[in-house]
Structure formats: C-alpha cells, structure tokens
Structure 1
Amino acid sequence: MKTRHTAAGTALFATALVLTACSGAGDGDDAAGTTENAATESGTTAATSATRAAADGQITITDVEGRTVTFDSLPERIILGEGRGIFATAILDREDPLDKVVAMGSDLRAAAPAYFDNLVAAYPKAGEVPEIGNIAKGDVTVENLISHDPDALVITADHYDAAKTTGMLDKLDAAGITYIVTDFRQHPMTNTTVSVTALGELFGRKDAAESFNEEWNGVVERVKERVADVDRKPSTFLWRAAGLKDCCNTVAKANLGEMISLAGGDNLADHIIDTESGDITAEKLIDEQPEIIIATGGTWAKQNDKPQAVPHVDLGYGVSPDTSRDTLKGLLDTPGLNELNAPGEGRFYGVWHQFYDSPFNYIALEQFGKWIHPDKFSDIDPVADLRDANSRYLPFTADGTFFIGVN
C-alpha cells in the first residue's frame, strides 16, 4: 500500500496523532510521499470535511491539525499507540473493536483495569494483542512499530508533543512513517467529532462515525442552550486524579476544564495556572473556597477492599455507590481540606477519570451541567444515558459507579 501524506505548517488544533506506515512488502515502492497544508476554519468545518474519498478510490483523511494523509486503499493493519484508543474503536465497531488492530499501547490495563477485564471477557483476543509500551515515556521504538508491519498507527496529541521533544518524529520521518492527528484529551469539546470522523475513515466505518457524531453534537448543543442564559457561573474546581496525585492537580482551558466552562461553570484553574495542567495548593484552594468541587477517580488500587497507601476516589466498572462515596469522603482527610465549604454544603462530587480521554465525554458534560446548574438539568439522567450508550457501543453493561456525590 502506498501512502501520500501531508504535514501542516499551520494548525488550528492541538490533537491526537495517527501515524501511518506503509508495509514494505508488495511492489517495493517507497512509502514516503509528499506533504501539503489543509487548515480548517473551525472544529465543525473539520468534522464535516475531515475526510474525503478521491475519485480513483483513494482515501484522504484530514486531521484536526489540518494535515492530510492519502491511502491507496483502506489500511488493514493498524497499531493503536494508546490502548485507550479502543474507547473510540468500540464505538465504530461494537462486534469487534479490535478489528485490524495488530498492536496497542500498554496503558489500558493500568489506567482502566476494570474496563480492560470486561473487554477481555467479551473479546479474549484483547488480552493477546501485543503491547508496544508508552510513547510519552519514551519506551516505544520505531523498530518495534515496524516489526508489526503496520499500515497505520494511531497516537494521541500529547504523545505527539512528547515525540517532537524526544526526536522520535524525526526517526519516524526517516523511516518513512506517515502521521495524521486526532484528539480526545487536550481539547475534547473541539476535537472529539473530528477525531471520530478521522478514525471512522481509517477503519472503514464512516457511517458509524457520522451516527455517533450526530448524537454527540446533539447532546453538546442541548447543554449549551440550557446554560446560555445563566446569570452566574459558580466557581468550580476540578481535582484531577484526586489522591493519586499531590493536592491538588487540575486543568485549565483544556480537558475536563473545558467541559466545566461549557456546562456553565467558572473553572477555578483558568484564573490561577498558566499551563494546561498544574497544581493548586490546599492553602490556595481554601482561600478561594470554590462553590463546587469535582474529583476524578478510577479503579487504580489492586485491592479496593483494603487500606490503600495512596487514597483515591474509587469509580468505574464494578464499583458500588457505597464504595465510591466512602472513598470520596476519604479525600477530605487531606490536611487542610476540612476547611473547605463545598463538601459540607453537599457540592463535592466524583467522576470517572477516563471520561477525560473518551468519546463518551459528552455524558460527563451532561453530569457537569446537572451538578453546576441542577435547575437547568432536572429532567436529564446522565447515568441512564451512559447505560444506554454502553449497551449500544459495548458488549458489556455499564455496571458500576461513574458519578457520585458526597451525600
């Protein structure tokens, strides 16, 4: 398969990356091609024009950076640079989210162990897919990628940024490996649909991508409409990976912080930190007294029924509401946080951490709206919506706890 790729000089979005490598088998032609720019005016424009099929059967994918890659035919061997890319491929192909996946990143079983266990139970081959390591940690080599004979490799925007710093991109270019960019993590409210469109084209699941994007856009527009006339935006603090990281890591103008703003909240971090992520001290948090605190959590502990060296909010598949609520309250044992007003007022919440890197982020957005402006979302049931989406896009049920309040 030949691939002609384009490297954008000016991009509108910082997003995830799909690296495309052509197999050297076949006629022996060089896989490397030419490059050009295809910057778009908005996330909506990119979502509708991100992919196009050429008249001669070639497929051109435009990523959120405005870069384009042209395939002579659909890729048949794809590497997911991040294992959590399965969150998106499952949406595209419920029957086999690992179709065409020949290797993947090593993050899924560590970051979302309960999800991984459910996945393996439904698709035993998920536990047999070779793992390539973690690009952000620098333990992925170009030689390893090539050994899997891929037609395409998908990685995330932050891993792309890391690869630029480490020089890995130069090595990929030298090896003739091509890449395009998608993103669910850095700027999800802009790039989710663009990314799903690009992946839908890559995996030959364009119709499934369009159907999901229609649903995603519908929910996001509904949230926007409901908070458009709010008189006041409550100060809201997003405590990222609470307990797992030092007090208190957060995000500004990115990631779940974007969702707080879109849901009608005033993201506290936007006024304090200059980078996309950083720490706010307990003293500063007490001084600011946010009206609402939302902590992210997961099933990171190996034994959730025993005392943990690093306490965290236990959330996700297979977790009971009582366990989630108890571990959420346990965060308040952090020195100084007993002086916060929000928990005593019942405005202290927990959300499953993996929404920050999943196309299902639109459901977390609904819940944020319900917590921040309960009067505007009294008829909305994010838990029911999550169960419905899970049943339509995954072969296992959403049994567990993904949202919790201190009361």
Structure 2
Amino acid sequence: MRIRNHFLRSLGLAATFALTLAAAQATQYPITVTDVSGRSVEIKAEPQRVVVQDGRDLFALALLDREDPFKRMVAWNNILIRSDPQTWAAFQKAWPESSARPIDMKFGDEGQVNLEQLAVSKPDLLIFQVRVRQALEDADLFNRLKTLGIPIILVDTEMEPVVNVPKTVQLIGTVFNREKEAKEFTDFYASHIAAINTAIAGQPKPSVFVEAKAGQKGIDSCCFTHGDVYWGKLATAAGGVNLGSELVKGRTGDVTLETVIAKAPDVFVMTGSPFSNDGSVSPPFGINSDPKKIEAALAVLEQRKGFEHIKAVKDGRVFGLYHQLYASAWNIYAVEYMAKAFYPEQLKALDPDANLHTLISKFTGLPADLPVTFGAKAPTVK
C-alpha cells in the first residue's frame, strides 16, 4: 500500500509539473513582439481570424497549428492552387472543411491589398512578407490598420531565408500561443544547419547557377535566375557561390545561355513545380508528384540546344528542386539537398529525404506516409 501511495503521489507531482511547464510556455496576452522587420507590434489576444498575404506561409502554419493549419485563416492569397495544384490538393485532402473556408483574395505579388475587402473578413491579425513592406507603406496601410485596431506582423522566408525562417516560425509561434511547437522545429532546423556548416568548413566552394522556374515558359526558355535573395541565398547557405548574385542587378532577372556557358558553373540547379500555365514543361516536383515525370522533364530540359556546352551538364552535375521551397519554412530540405550535391564526399551520410520525412511526420499533421519528391538528380547526358 505504501508503494502504491508513493506511486500515486509521484504521478500527481508529474502531472502538476507538466501543467506548470505548459503554463510557463503559454503566451501571456497582451504581448508586444518585434516582427522580422524590427517593428514593435502589440497583440492584445490570441488571434483567431488571420489574413495571410503569401499562401506559401501555409508551410509555416502547418508547423504550428498542426491539428489544422487553416483553423485561424479567414483570407489569404492561395498561391499554391495556381503554382502547385498537387500540393494544394494534399492539404485539401487532409483538411477538407477548413481549407475551403478562407477567401482567396489573390493579393498582388508586391503586396497590393484592398482594405475594404480585408475589413469584410474581420481579421484580428495580418501576416505579410517583408518583401512587400514598401507597398504597404506606400498605401499607408500600417497606419490605417492601426486605426482599425488590426495588428500586422512582417515575416520573411524569402529575402534572408535561412536566417529568418527560424525567426518567422518563432514569431508566429509566440503570437499564436504555439511556442512549444515553434521551438521544436527551430531546434531541428538549427541543428541541421550547424551539421552542414561543420562538415563543409574550409572546403573550396563550387560555383552554382540556379535556373528558377525552369521550363515554365516552355522548352525554349532559359535562363531566369535569382540574385542575392531567394534561391541565391539558399545556394549560398548550402556552401555554393551563386552566379546569379553577380549576373543580375535586382532580385531576379534573365541571363543568356551564352553567359551561363562562359561562367562554367560547377553545378546547375533547375527549380520546378507543376505550374498550371499552358506550355509549361517544368519538372513537377512537390507532394504526390510522379518521379518518372520529374526525371523525364529534367532530361528534356538539360538537352536544350546549347546545354551540352555547360560545364555542369558535361560533368553530370545537374539537379532539380521543388521551386516553392525558396519561399517556404521547409527550405531546410533545399539547403541539405544542395549541400550534398555540392559536397558529396563530405556529406555522404546526409539523407535530405529522410530528414524531410521526419519534418513532415513529426512537426505537421499531414500524413506520415505522404509521397513527396522535392529533389532529384537529372539523368546524365550521353
């Protein structure tokens, strides 16, 4: 009896400790947070009606509101339905009712919004990407929303993706009262980035050309790329020297094939998605994608006229990646995949696909056995 009573007391103490720990981790409202742009924002209560400017922030919400990433969303820009209907279908299937509720406002790519439309959805929080801050300031939206009592936080998964993805997830986690879930993911993220940096420290860096949205405009198009943002930053974080950073003046731009050939990249990366526009031959990477179709698309694209003169093609170092990762909190896969492609000897043991499976099964509510192809090596051209 004495042993049994001691056991019950121990259970009681454990339960009390668990409750105390949960209370300590819970967000206490009202709270003032500093968003990724450095703005101070007061959040008076846990948000229940959220507007999301960039639909790819769904990947971040899935890490936090794991039981249902749509539970708070009342309006958004559903980029996925237009740029990757397969991945959108996977989220729809997992949350059929809640995914149908938010209004797709189709915000402008630079953040242009209709304030009257926003007001109709009665939001208590807006989440926007840092890259559209200028458009918001030009429209005096910060002050107008403040007058209405609607807070707006700026996040970033694109401009400084590896630096700001953990900050973004932590910020939204604090605002959403999901600090525990945020920390679980950011710890995972930090440990994987650190492991890459340790493995490749001191190694010569390969030059990399990233053809973003390869094949979206058809078989004859080449070569759209990213500068020192987006895929350029991800390639740099993976230990490469992004050629786009010196070849384009702005965030993005087109580079002639002749220039790419002259630059002799050690590695050539094509990013693709099952874009819905007519004429696209882009590799259809994503959730529920067909690996054979991806391989076929990569083979066709690397055999475009003139590509046989590109150093990376001749050396068999052409790789493909899921395009939407450049704006996704899941971008750790892109960094790991490229790092292994850049440094195959130093990162022999690295398994980006297994780590992606861990991310989805452990940190989201999506099915653990979800078929996903986010990266692939292109067939060697003979």
TM-score (norm 1): 0.80
Task: State the partner residue of 2:7.
Answer: none
Question: Which amino acid in structure 1 is aligned with residue 130 of structure 2?
Answer: A
In structure 1, which of residues 302, 307, 319 is the aligned counterpart of residue 289 of structure 2?
319
C-alpha deviation, 1:166, in angstroms: 5.6
Please report how far the alpha carbon of residue 375 of structure 1 lies from its aligned counterpart in structure 2 after TM superposition.
Answer: 0.5
Taking the aligned partners of 1:289 and 1:362, their CA distance within structure 2 comes to: 27
The residue matched to 2:225 in structure 1 has which SS? strand
* 1:158-197 to 2 correspondences below 5 Å: 158-165=131-138, 172=145, 177-197=150-170
Mapped pair 1:86 → 2:58: yes
Q: Counterpart of 2:360?
A: 390
CA offset digits 1:344-399 (Å, max 9, x no partner): 32101100011111111112111111000001110011011112211221323431
Q: Do the aligned partners of residues 60 and 53 (structure 1) sit closer, same or farther apart at CA in structure 2, a change above 3 Å counting?
A: farther
Answering whether residue 323 of structure 2 is matched by residue 353 of structure 1, we say: yes
Structure with bigger gyration radius: 2
Counterpart of 1:343 in structure 2 is 313
Letter matched to residue 269 of structure 2 = I
Once the two structures are TM-superposed, the CA of residue 180 in structure 1 deviates from its matched residue by: 2.4
The whole-number CA distance in structure 2 between the counterparts of 1:138 and 1:74 is: 24
Residue 93 (structure 2) aligns with: 121
Is structure 2 residue 228 aligned with structure 1 residue 253? Answer: yes
Instruction: Give, in angstroms, the shift of residue 209 of structure 1.
Output: 0.6
Aligned partner (choices 214, 219, 239) of residue 264 of structure 1: 239
| 2:181 counterpart of 1:208 | yes
State the Cα distance separating 1:167 from its structure 2 match: 5.7
CA contact (8 A) 1:259 1:365 kept: yes
> Which AA in structure 1 matches 2:54?
E
Deviations 1:284-304 (A, max 9, x none): 0111121100110011147xx
Number of equivalences: 349
Structure 1 residues 258-314: Cα deviation after superposition (integer angstroms, max 9, x where no partner): 222222211111222232222211110111121100110011147xxxxx6232122
Q: Secondary structure at the match of 1:359?
A: coil
CA distance in structure 2 between the aligned counterparts of 1:83 and 1:199, rounded to whole angstroms:
15
Shift of 1:319: 2.0
1:291 and 2:248 correspond: no
Deviations 1:151-171 (A, max 9, x none): 001111223333345665565
Q: Which amino acid in structure 2 is aligned with residue 271 of structure 1?
A: E
1:92 deviates by: 0.4
Deviation string, structure 1 residues 79-110 (Cα, Å, up to 9, x no partner): 11222221111100221111221122131211
Q: Are 2:302 and 1:329 aligned?
A: no
The answer on whether the counterparts of 1:200 and 1:208 sit within 8 Å (CA) in structure 2 is yes
Q: CA deviation at 1:71?
A: 2.1
SS of match in other structure, 1:96: coil
> Whole-Å Cα distance in 2 between the matches of residues 95 and 138 of structure 1?
29
- Unpaired segments ≥5 residues, structure 2: 1-24
Contact kept, 8 Å, 2:59 with 2:328, in 1: the verdict is yes
Aligned match of 1:381 in 351, 362, 375?
A: 351
2:11 paired residue number? none
**Are residues 170 and 61 of structure 1, via their aligned partners in 2, closer, same or farther at CA, if it must alter by over 3 Å?**
closer
Specify whether residues 96 and 52 from structure 1 end up closer, same or farther in structure 2 by C-alpha distance, changes over 3 A only.
Answer: closer
- Structure 2 counterpart of 1:68, which letter? S
Equivalent of residue 47 in structure 2, options 57, 75, 94:
75
Q: CA deviation at 1:222?
A: 0.9
RMSD between aligned alpha carbons? Answer: 2.2
Whether 1:143 and 2:116 are equivalent positions in the alignment is: yes
Show the counterpart of 1:100: 72
Distance in structure 1 (CA, Å) of the matches to 2:189 and 2:134: 27
Among the aligned pairs, what percent are the same residue? 28
Q: Secondary structure at the match of 1:293?
A: strand
Q: Distance in 1 between matches of 2:206 and 2:126?
A: 42
CA contact (8 A) 1:107 1:134 kept: no
Q: Is it true that 1:239 corresponds to 2:214 in the alignment?
A: no
Tell me, yes or no, if the aligned pair for 1:297 and 1:352 is still in contact at 8 Å.
yes
* Code of the aligned partner of 1:291: D
Contact 1:77 1:100 in 2 (8 A): yes
Is the CA contact 2:84–2:276 (under 8 Å) kept in the aligned structure 1? no
Distance 1:349 1:379 in 2: 19
In structure 1, C-alpha distance between the alignment counterparts of 2:140 and 2:46, rounded to whole Å: 29
Could you tell me whether the CA contact under 8 Å between 1:291 and 1:341 is conserved in 2?
A: yes
